Amino acid sequence: MEVVIVADAEAGGELIAEAMAQLLRRKPGALLGVATGSTPLPVYRALTAKVEAGAVDTSRARVAQLDEYVGLPADHPESYRSVLRRQVLEPLGIGMDAFMGPDGTAGDVQAACEAYDRELAAAGGVDLQLLGIGTDGHIGFNEPCSSLASRTRIKTLTEQTLRDNARFFDGDIAQVPHHVITQGIGTILEARHLVLLATGEGKADAVAATVEGPVAAVCPASALQLHPHATVVVDEAAASKL
């Protein structure tokens, strides 16, 4: 695992956007795994700037979703599909035909999860998976004590994650869906390159457990230690407990 400490979130965003741009120059049809949350926004902004400047071509790029709420209609503004369309696909000029994600509205959620794992594999696998991290060390929505070998499946959010995510639902915890679909940790580990971005002091404990703690299900992100090509990009504040 490579740990890169940058001055701030913008510098982290630029570094990762450049890695994505280089990947797309090498492999124009690359499959980019993207994450939601506030942390990756500087990455998407920096990559969009490169596209607008003509420094990278996204016309053949493909995008894969990491996780999704169960039960939110796909066109709900806070479904992760909608969020990614707004924050990633539209700015980068990538159409929904080049997007893949799990169906959070499926009648048979388990079948939808298995179908998504098959879809990812059939697409040739994720080339670069961008990850944020929860304050409890979760990646995607793999909450603490998720199996390190898990596949895409339904999960129940912890109280802490419900509280953390209430800000996207008018601050009202009652509106946050309790169930989610997430790529499993085993699924995530199949991506060729994992890039985790963490910024701000609130992530310092989770970053320390990820980088310096034992590989353990209590900190799902620590599974990155098992990956042959994992990069953890942290700003000074998130690195403060290393």
Q: How many residues does the chain have?
A: 242
- Which residue, 101 or 132, is less far from ligand GLP as judged by CB? 132
Q: Choose the stretch contacting ligand GLP; rule: CB under 6 A; options: 34-42, 53-61, 117-125, 227-235.
A: 34-42
Q: Which of 134, 177, 184, 220 binds ligand GLP (CB under 6 A)?
A: 134
User: According to the binding rule CB under 6 A, does residue 150 interact with ligand GLP?
Assistant: no
Question: Hey, CA dihedral for 239, 157, 35, 176, is it positive or negative?
Answer: negative
Q: How many residues of this chain bind ligand GLP (CB under 6 A)?
A: 14
Q: How far is the CB of 144 from ligand GLP (least distance, A)?
A: 12
Question: Of 72, 182, 66, nearest to 130 (Cα)?
Answer: 66
Q: Choose the stretch contacting ligand GLP; rule: CB under 6 A; options: 8-16, 122-130, 134-142, 219-227.
A: 134-142
Which of the residues are catalytic? 67, 136, 138, 143
- The residues in 52-71 that bind ligand GLP, with binding defined as CB under 6 A, are 66-67
How far apart, in whole angstroms, are the C-alpha atoms of residue 172 and residue 156?
Answer: 18
User: According to the binding rule CB under 6 A, does residue 146 interact with ligand GLP?
Assistant: no
Count of alpha carbons within 13 angstroms of residue 122, beta-carbon side = 7
Q: Choose the stretch contacting ligand GLP; rule: CB under 6 A; options: 10-18, 102-110, 128-136, 232-240.
A: 128-136
Question: Using CB atoms within 10 A of its CB, is residue 82 exposed (0-12), middle (13-18) or buried (19+)?
Answer: middle
Pairing of strands 62-65, 153-156: unpaired
- Which residue, 66 or 98, is less far from ligand GLP as judged by CB? 66
> Tell me, what DSSP letter sits at residue 157?
P
Reduced to 3 states, what is the DSSP secondary structure of residue 201? helix
Q: Which of 9, 30, 35, 98 binds ligand GLP (CB under 6 A)?
A: 35
With beta carbons less than 8 A apart as the criterion, state whether 229 and 193 touch: yes
- Which residue, 58 or 165, is less far from ligand GLP as judged by CB? 165
User: According to the binding rule CB under 6 A, does residue 210 interact with ligand GLP?
Assistant: no
- Which residue, 36 or 152, is less far from ligand GLP as judged by CB? 36
Q: How far is the CB of 26 from ligand GLP (least distance, A)?
A: 26
How far apart, in whole angstroms, are the C-alpha atoms of residue 228 and residue 214?
Answer: 17
Pairing of strands 193-198, 230-235: parallel
User: According to the binding rule CB under 6 A, does residue 144 interact with ligand GLP?
Assistant: no
With beta carbons less than 8 A apart as the criterion, state whether 133 and 206 touch: yes
Q: How far is the CB of 200 from ligand GLP (least distance, A)?
A: 8
Contact set with ligand GLP (CB under 6 A): 35-39, 66-67, 132-134, 140-141, 161, 165
